[in-house]
Structure 1
Amino acid sequence: MNINIPISYGELLDKLTILEIKQRKITNQDKLKNINNEYLKLDDVAKYLKNIDKVKYETFYKKLFEINLSLWEIEDKIRILEKNKLFESEFIELARKVYFTNDKRFEIKSKINEHFGSEFFEEKQYVDYE
C-alpha cells in the first residue's frame, strides 16, 4: 500500500536530489531498484514545477544537489573519524559544517517554496550562532 502526503515543493526537490546522489553512490542493486523506483515517481510529480519555470527549477535543483552532496561527503568523513575514535579539531570542524550546510539547504528550500508558491513552508527555530 502507498500513502500520499502533501509536502512543500522544496521538500520534493530536496528528496529528489538526495535520491540522485544515492543513485550515484550506492552500488547494491536491490537498494538501487528501490531508489530508482522512488526517484521516477517523485520526478513525475516534479514535472509540474518544471513546467512552471524550467530554468529556476534546474537552478534550484543544482544548488540543492551540490549542498546535499556536500552533506553526504561531510557525513562520510565524520563516520570515518567516529570509527577511528578521532574526536579532535577535524571532527569538530566537520560537525560544525553539518549545521552550516543544513542552514544553506533550508534557505534554498525556502526560496523554492516561495518562488513556486508552495502551500507548505518548512519552519525552523535555532539559537543564533552568529
Structure 2
Amino acid sequence: MKPILIEIGPGELCDRLSILALKVKHSRPGQQADLFDTALNRLRSLRDELAFCPSTIDLETELADVNRQLWDIEDALHDAEERRLFGPDYIDLARKVQKLNNRRCSLKAAIDVALEAPRSVEEKIYGQ
C-alpha cells in the first residue's frame, strides 16, 4: 500500500520527533527499534530544513520534556490499571495528563507561531 501523506506544521513535527525519540529510547533492540529509529532520522532531516532560532529551540526542548513527563505518567497509569489501583494517586496522575496535554498543545502552537506557519487544525476545543 502506498503511504498516506499529510501536511503538518513545525510544532507537530517537533512533537512527533520527541515522541519517536522516546520510543527509540524505551524500545528493545530489534525490528521495532529499527523502525522507530528510521522514522526518527527521516523526520530529523525534515526538521533540519526549518529555520529554528534560540526561542523556538527552547520551545522544542520544553515540548520534549512535556512528552517525557507524559510518557512516565502513562507508564504509571498503565501499571496502576494492571494492579487495579484507582485511588487518589491514580486520579492525580490522570489530571496531570490533562494539564500536560494542554501545555503540549500550547507549545506546538507557539512553535508554529514563532516559525510563521499556518494555523493548525490540531487546536483543542472543549465543551463546544
TM-score clears 0.5: yes
* C-alpha displacement of 1:21: 0.9
Question: Does the CA contact (< 8 Å) of 2:59 and 2:107 recur in 1?
Answer: yes
How large is the RMSD of aligned CA atoms in angstroms?
1.3
Matched residues, percent identical?
A: 30
The number of aligned residues is 125
Distance 1:41 1:120 in 2: 24
Q: CA deviation at 1:4?
A: 2.3
Which residues of 2 match residues 69-84 of structure 1 at below 5 A? 69-84=68-83
How many Å apart are 1:55 and its aligned residue? Answer: 2.2
Structure with more of its chain in helix, by fraction: 1
TM-score w.r.t. the length of structure 1 is 0.89
TM-score by length of 2: 0.91
Residue segments in structure 1 that go unaligned for 5+ positions in a row = none
- Per-residue CA deviation, residues 69-114 of structure 1 (Å, 9 max, x unaligned), is 0000000000111001111100100011110000110110010010
Q: Which residue of 2 aligns with 1:117?
A: 116
Runs of 4+ in 1 over 2 A off after TM superposition: 1-4, 53-58
Q: Provide closer, same or farther for how the CA distance between residues 42 and 120 of structure 1 changes in structure 2, counting only shifts above 3 A.
A: farther
**Separation of aligned partners in 1, 2:15 and 2:52:** 17
Mind listing any 5+ residue stretches in structure 2 that lack a counterpart? none
Confirm or deny: 8 A CA contact 1:7 1:120 kept in the other structure. Answer: no
- Correspondence 1:40 to 2:22: no
Match of 2:61 in 1: 62
